[in-house]
Amino acid sequence: MTPTYDDLPALMTRMTGDEKHDASATSTLDVIWVLYHHVLRTDPARPEDPDRDRFLVSKGHGPMAYYAVLAAHGFIGIDLLDTFGEFDSPLGYHPDRTLVPGVEISSGSLGHGLPIATGTATALKLQRRAARVVVLVGDAELDEGSNIEAIQYAGRAGLGNLTVVVIDNESAGLGWPGGIHSRFDIEGWTSTDVDGRDHDALRAAFESGTPDTPHVVVAHV
Amino acid sequence: MIDQRERFYRVAPELLEQDGRLALVLAEIGVGYLEPHIGERIRARVVNVGIREQLLVSFASGLALAGMRPIVHTFAPFLIERPFEQVKLDFGHQGVGGILVSSGGSYSMAAGGETHFGHRDVALLDTLDEWAVHVPGHADEAEHALREAVRGDDRVYIRLDGKSNRHRYADGPGFTVLRSGNLGTVITVGPTADAVLAAAEGRDVTVLYAERIRPFDAHTLRETLTTPDVVIVEPYLSGTSIPYVTDALSDVRHRVIGLGVGHHELRKYGTPKEHENAHGLDVRGISSSFDAFFGDASDLRY
């Protein structure tokens, strides 16, 4: 049975206990849904397939939307959602890749996912695999300088198989004068600013970019 | 005779030629030395990320997550201390392996001062899970450690020092018995061995040589133990391995001291030899520590 977007709130409720979810809890929901439903080439039956697309959730915080989409697409059992955060549950407040099928990195400490992704994207190129790497970061997470090291390297190495999606809910304490995309543009990335709730626009943004440069999608929510 | 670091720069490219799974990740340090050894077949797998040590370690983790075996190299403080959280999370917590190869030892760049001293590395790695730690005392040992490491999938740290012993002493992964005696045991780690052997001359003690210090070879320490008085001499932070000695002998009343690089900042430059003297790691310093420790033990109560 094919999951629909409308199934997600009920799945999240199994974790939060709340009937309604505020904007911060669902800030990543549309992006992750569009990726799994329309963009990524992944197979829950083969989560270790070396040719799979990689989706790295770098920020790790508030993973309910992530777990809900994974459950909707068959990576984890729906009943597991009821155990969210419990001592022996595989579903923690920050994901652990060794416990959850389909989770590519263990995250929670900010600023690790994008630097790791540059290595994975490079490995896939060296192995001549067509798979792409998509990394989700938060606008506040970009405060971490480790991201900047990765943005600089990826641009100069021309990692065309790397896409970053920044969930921009304007939570960065000191803001980003001149826009987030400008930090990427100057390092040779292509960029798209998009409404982070608009599924068609998100899908188009993930399908844009060029083969020789990394691409950033700034999703405003 | 080429030193440990130069041997690494020659052997690593050779290993990359033989195994397409390997990659060498650098942060400018070593790039110039390696260049003559990098053929076209491996050039794409030698990645210089620039002076970006957080990226250096995370990038290597990303390679490992895609099934490659990264060899990561720079000076010890920039490999272990600056990106410590990357070492902790991007290797340990991700559950992937890799090979970290440092150079410069504790004070090979003596005139460089505190910013370039690397004596805290092993103690820091001891707070993490399952890192094998090699402290080669000879270029042949460094080469052997690297050749073994590339065949596995585990987490390995190889600590290259500017100082080497006259001979290769290691004859296996565990501790090697260099001498046997009855009045105690000295464990000498890596490049400290020549000075330790000279200081042990004429003393009735067992000398064990450690090229691989983690995992700690408790078995050989116990098997060869006579009088349970143990000195461990390490070319990095003094006392780093004392807990391991104590654990190994937890059911034996024993004495133990650790010689190594002092905890206090000296704020001195000069030469590696001058630092060795200052930390009591020269023959005279080690010998006087032996005198004090092994001296007249008859008044000690076991």
Pairwise CB contact (< 8 Å): B54 & A146: yes
In chain B, the residue whose alpha carbon lies closest to the alpha carbon of A122 is B63
* Over residues B279-294, mean pLDDT: 97
d(Cα A67, Cα A70) in Å, to the nearest integer?
Answer: 5
**CA A105 from centroid of its chain's CA atoms:** 11
Amino acid type, B145: A
Pairwise CB contact (< 8 Å): B49 & A153: yes
d(Cα B88, Cα A138) in Å, to the nearest integer?
Answer: 22
pLDDT single digits (tens) B195-227: 999 999 999 999 999 999 999 999 999 999 999
Phi and psi torsions of B231, nearest 5° = -115, 130
Beta strands B69-75 and B131-134 are unpaired
A97-108 burial: b if 16+ Cβ within 10 Å, else e = beebebbbbbbb
| Cβ-based contacts of B67 with chain A (< 8 Å) | 50, 123, 127
CA distance A81 to chain B (A): 22
What is the number of other CB atoms lying within 10 angstroms of the CB of residue B239? 18
CA distance A180 to chain B (A): 20
Burial class (CB in 10 A: 0-12, 13-18, 19+), B277: middle
In chain B, the residue whose alpha carbon lies closest to the alpha carbon of A118 is B59
pLDDT computed for residue A143 by the predictor: 98
d(Cα B166, Cα B141) in Å, to the nearest integer?
Answer: 12
| Cβ-based contacts of A55 with chain B (< 8 Å) | none
Is residue A206 within 8 A of residue A39, CB to CB? The reply is yes
A219: β partners: A167, A194
pLDDT single digits (tens) B14-35: 999 999 999 999 999 999 999 9
pLDDT single digits (tens) A94-147: 999 999 999 999 999 999 999 999 999 999 999 999 999 999 999 999 999 999
pLDDT single digits (tens) B98-114: 999 999 999 999 999 99
What is the longest distance spanned by two Cα atoms in chain A?
A: 47
Sheet holding B212-214, edge to edge: B46-48, B22-26, B69-75, B98-103, B155-159, B131-134, B212-214
Amino acid type, B129: D
Per the structure block, which two tokens stand in for A161? 């198989």
| Confidence check: pLDDT of A190 > 90 | yes
CA distance A146 to chain B (A): 6
Sign of the Cα torsion B299, B252, B223, B148 reads negative
Is residue A150 within 8 A of residue B55, CB to CB? The reply is yes
pLDDT band at B290; cut points 50, 70, 90 = very high
In chain A, the residue whose alpha carbon lies closest to the alpha carbon of B48 is A153
Beta strands B131-134 and B212-214 are antiparallel
pLDDT computed for residue B296 by the predictor: 53
B21: which DSSP letter?
T
Pairwise CB contact (< 8 Å): B94 & A121: no
A190: β partners: A215
- Would you mind telling me the total number of residues written for chain A in this entry? 221
For residue B33, what are the contacts with CB-CB under 8 A and spacing of at least 6? B5, B6, B9
Q: What predicted TM-score, i.e. pTM, was given to this entire model?
A: 0.97
**Mean of pLDDT over chain B:** 96
Per the structure block, which two tokens stand in for A89? 């549950």
Amino acid type, B264: H
| Cβ-based contacts of B55 with chain A (< 8 Å) | 115, 118, 146, 149-150, 153
User: Could you tell me if A48 lies within 8 Å of chain B, comparing CB atoms?
Assistant: no
CA distance A197 to chain B (A): 30
For residue B301, what are the contacts with CB-CB under 8 A and spacing of at least 6? none
In chain A, the residue whose alpha carbon lies closest to the alpha carbon of B94 is A106
Which residue in B176, B247, B179 sits closest to B210, CA to CA? B176
d(Cα A11, Cα A67) in Å, to the nearest integer?
Answer: 9
pLDDT computed for residue A17 by the predictor: 87
pLDDT band at B301; cut points 50, 70, 90 = very low
**Pick from B44, B64, B85: CB nearest A126:** B44
pLDDT computed for residue B112 by the predictor: 95
pLDDT computed for residue B299 by the predictor: 44
pLDDT computed for residue A1 by the predictor: 65
pLDDT single digits (tens) B111-145: 999 999 999 999 999 999 999 999 999 999 999 99
B59, B61, B68, B72: which to substitute to probe chain A, counting the most A Cβ within 10 Å?
Answer: B59
Is residue B193 within 8 A of residue B178, CB to CB? The reply is yes
User: Could you tell me if A204 lies within 8 Å of chain B, comparing CB atoms?
Assistant: no
In chain B, the residue whose alpha carbon lies closest to the alpha carbon of A155 is B49
Mean pLDDT check: name the lowest of A147-161, B69-83, B285-299.
Answer: B285-299
pLDDT computed for residue A2 by the predictor: 85
pLDDT computed for residue B1 by the predictor: 62
d(Cα A150, Cα B69) in Å, to the nearest integer?
Answer: 20
